[in-house]
Amino acid sequence: MLLGLVEHLARRGSDREARAEAAELILYFDAAPRQHHADEEVDLFPALIESMAGSDAVCLRELIEHLTAEHRELDARWRRVRAALQRIVEGERVSIEPGEVEALAGLHQRHIEREERELLPMAARLLGDDDLERLGRAMRERRGIANA
């Protein structure tokens, strides 16, 4: 949607549709990535570190350090894009640098792929049912979802 908005702005400017999309993007990216990063940094990473043994320790620490650094980079890139989106929401005629959006989208994609390829299989192997339930409960609470 963000990449599509860049093209839309180039063709049609900051019209009503662009303002609505920009507002929707702000709502999503102000919440979802922060919640996801907290899910990992507050709950998942410490649980994994607690459960690790042997050779898992070195690999896991490296992976966690890398993913945490990417969280910081994603946040920084988002703040730059968000500033332009906010101006669009306010009706200003601005463009968003395509390279900045592509870099943000690319980093998000690579980050997700690494989580799915490395982090989640490791979590499935190292964490037990009680750990997973505790993590799920914390993630639901973070989002204001009642625990069942």
Domains in the chain with CATH codes: 2-140 (1.20.120.520)
Please indicate whether residue 95 or residue 2 has the higher confidence score (pLDDT).
2
Q: How far apart are CA 64 and CA 44, in angstroms?
A: 10
Looking at residue 50, its pLDDT comes to 83
Q: Is 100 exposed, middle or buried (CB count within 10 Å of its CB: 0-12, 13-18, 19+)?
A: middle
Q: Over the stretch 80-125, which tens digit does the pLDDT of each residue have?
A: 999 999 999 999 988 888 999 999 999 999 999 999 999 999 898 8
pTM here? 0.84
Q: What is the mean pLDDT of the chain?
A: 91
Among 68, 45, 71, 67, CA closest to 126:
45
Q: What is the mean pLDDT of residues 26-41?
A: 94
